[in-house]
Chain A
Amino acid sequence: MTRLRSIRPVLATLVALGMAAGSAGAQQTEQADVLSIGGSVTEIVMALGQGHRLKARDSTSTYPPAVADLPDVGYMRALSPEGVLSVGPALILSEEGAGPVEAVEVIRAADVDFVEVPDAYDASGIMNKITIVGAALGVPDRAAKLADTVGADLRTAATLAESWTGARKRVLFVLSTQGGKITASGTGTAADAIIRLAGGVNAVTDFTGYRQLSDESLGLAAPDLILMMDRSGDHAATVDDLFAMPAMQLTPAADSQALVRMDGLLMLGFGPRTAQAVTRLNHALYGERS
């Protein structure tokens, strides 16, 4: 499984390069015939200046706001094959993990090019995503430029994170506080990756993925800062509600009321804006330094 995973980006790149050669003709006509699935992929398409070629998106594609006007084919893991085909895409760009498998098989069987963009939680992974999307859209030069810019931003952000010589702060990513119970991120998640990139320490490393924390283990985790997703319609806690929770009161974060909220796609999407997210979190942790 792991071996397969590591060669996948290479394969995808090769496929994408082949596609780029094939789609040179399409480039001139520039019809809107691309379906983009996955928030970070859509962001990359837009950042490449190819937004006019988007025909539809999935429900995880929410940035930039302009894409909200595009038809929505639903949640990326519960696609309807006919729904996807009905928007008439000539090319489908999809983040890894679109499904169900049968639906994707049927879509691949139709006359549609399907490019899978591998997911990754680091700088080279993001640049690889950009390269693949750019190649599939037939704009490899723009993609190379964007990848360079994004790569440079990420290096700057990383340098900033490394420049902090003091004690590293502990960050707890809270996915939800539903019913007074805190679901937090362990290791192996996008949240864990962004915390580490920003020079923080994940306060919970006892498990992988997202799990509910007991009140006492929250005290043991002793986070200095709470990181949450910003949701419109706000069913997440406000600062007061959050730190009023009995378990939270024991944490250093409660003493300093340290809560950072960021848009979910910005923070966890690992697209072109990840450097922004890293820098914002770093500043929140250690203050703005020159």
Chain B
Amino acid sequence: MAMISELQAPPRDRLSRARTLHWALVGLLAVCSLASLQVGATDITLTTLLGKLATGETLGRMERVVLLDIRLPRLALGALVGAALAVSGAAMQGLFRNPLADPGIVGVGAGAGLGAILAIVLGALLPAWAVGTVGNQLVPVAAFLGGWGSTILLYRVSTRGGRTSVATMLLAGIALGALAGALSGILVYIADDTQLRDLTFWGLGSLAGASWAKVLAAGPLIALSLGAALMLGRGLNGLALGEATAAHIGIDVQRMKNIAILAVAGATGAAVAVSGGIGFIGIVVPHLLRLASGPDHRALLLNSALLGASLLILADVIARVVIAPAELPIGIVTAVLGAPVFLWILLRRRGLVDT
């Protein structure tokens, strides 16, 4: 019931509350990060390593590999991907003024999926020089290009006379999604058994392939996109009043749409490319935060980044310890945890969604 009083509190009060929430979430992120370095299938822990470092002992090769080459890049990648998905979700929900919008709404997911399938199924047909240049990274690169490309295509289709229609974008997104689905279907048909397995696992998402190379490739793009998205708070608040009103209060609506769409395509495209399909973070995180501290985008976007990163890191910890030494695809964990939470929100707060 505390939440109702929060919703009724004057806006200024809620914003300051949201800003105190920043610090709580920074704390949560720190705790999740430490947990992610501490826990894993091996019994190597951060605490023993710090103890060794303190007494001047050198670390074994195994300890270094587990900590520096496995857990640390996974942590970094998890934080980047979680933040990217959650902020993209919040931005899209704001831009489309639709509570069910998620990063996939601008066609990133379908396009990235098609790119990944193309790479998995037809990758073997590439000439040797191309394989030599792209190598192991063929699937992520193709997924990124697919996701980015389909968003740009969708954006071009929905923009006429320098004005982007979000309604057109929504519907065209559905059409493009169906088309990408059909093309993927053709590729699934010609795929062989092992390729189908690879496809299934890709679609479930995983951070098991995390490496510094992936962090370095995806990191700058996600950081840049997130930086741009975080500046959209005031504009998205204005847009909540409708496009015309937003324009009247001095917001350059078209410019904001451009930034939002490019940022989401960049962040989500890169995230999906390095981790495969991870559901529910983009949709659940912003809703949780709206319940806790209201819909003000100035606080919501940053909080989404923090909570998204924390939750994905946590989900990854669960994914890798629950059936160790094997490991669950992380998309399963986020959906199993995220779907009930989402349902619970819907049932508890029906009024919020029905506005």
Contacts and interface: CB of A to CB of B under 8 A. Distances in A.
Interface of A: 1, 56, 59, 71-75, 77-87, 97, 99-103, 105-106, 109-111, 175, 189, 208-212
B193 A85 contact: no
Given A1-B124, A85-B41, 11 more contacts: A72-B325, A80-B326, A82-B41, A82-B70, A82-B71, A84-B325, A86-B40, A99-B198, A100-B208, A102-B211, A209-B193
A68 to B, nearest CB: 14
Contacts of A83: 41, 320, 324-327
B201 A86 contact: no
Contact of A77 (B40, B42, B192, B201): B201
17 contacts: A56-B325, A73-B325, A74-B323, A74-B325, A77-B201, A78-B197, A78-B327, A79-B208, A80-B325, A82-B40, A83-B326, A85-B66, A86-B40, A109-B69, A110-B62, A111-B61, A189-B193
Interface string B215-229: 000000000000000
Interface of B: 40-43, 61-62, 65-66, 69-71, 124, 128, 136, 189, 192-194, 197-198, 201, 206, 208-211, 214, 320, 323-327, 329
Contacts of B62: 85, 110-111
Nearest to B136: A101
A87 B214 CA distance: 26
B325 A103 contact: no
Contact of B211 (A59, A106, A212): A106
Nearest to A99: B198
Given A1-B128, A78-B206, A82-B42, A106 B69 contact: yes
Given A86-B40, A86-B43, A97-B194, A80 B327 contact: yes
B75 to A, nearest CB: 12
Nearest to B65: A110
A100 B209 contact: yes
A75 B69 CA distance: 22
Contacts, number: 99
Given A83-B325, A85-B66, A78 B211 contact: no
A74 B136 contact: no
B268 to A, nearest CB: 21
A185 to B, nearest CB: 9
A59 B201 CA distance: 15
B209 A102 contact: yes
Contacts of B71: 82
B326 A73 contact: yes
The 6 closest A-B pairs by CB, nearest first: A74-B326, A86-B41, A80-B327, A83-B325, A209-B192, A102-B209
A15 B206 CA distance: 32
Nearest to B319: A80
A210 B193 contact: yes
A74 B326 CA distance: 4
A1 B130 CA distance: 13
A208 B128 CA distance: 22
A19 to B, nearest CB: 18
Contact of B326 (A75, A106, A110): A75
Given A82-B40, A86-B40, A77 B325 contact: no
Contacts of B324: 80, 83, 86
B211 A105 contact: yes
Given A82-B42, A103-B209, A59 B66 contact: no
Contacts of B66: 82, 85, 110
Nearest to A211: B189
A74 B198 contact: no
Contacts of A85: 41-42, 62, 65-66, 70
Contacts of A103: 208-209
Contacts of B211: 102, 105-106
B325 A86 contact: yes
Contacts of A72: 325-326
B227 to A, nearest CB: 27
B328 to A, nearest CB: 9
Which of A77, A78, A82, A99 has the most CB atoms of chain B within a 10 A radius of its CB?
Answer: A82
A25 B214 CA distance: 39
A110 B42 CA distance: 13
Nearest to A108: B65
Contacts of B43: 86
Nearest to B64: A110
A99 B208 CA distance: 10
Contacts of B192: 208-210
A83 B321 CA distance: 8
A86 B42 CA distance: 4
A87 B69 contact: no
A1 B327 CA distance: 31
Contacts of A78: 197, 201, 206, 208, 327, 329
Nearest to B324: A83
A214 to B, nearest CB: 12
Nearest to A35: B325
Contacts of A87: 325
Contacts of A175: 193
Nearest to B191: A209
B325 A102 contact: no
A83 B61 CA distance: 16
Contacts of B209: 100-103
Nearest to B197: A77
B44 to A, nearest CB: 9
B199 to A, nearest CB: 11
Given A72-B326, A85-B42, A110-B61, A80 B320 contact: yes
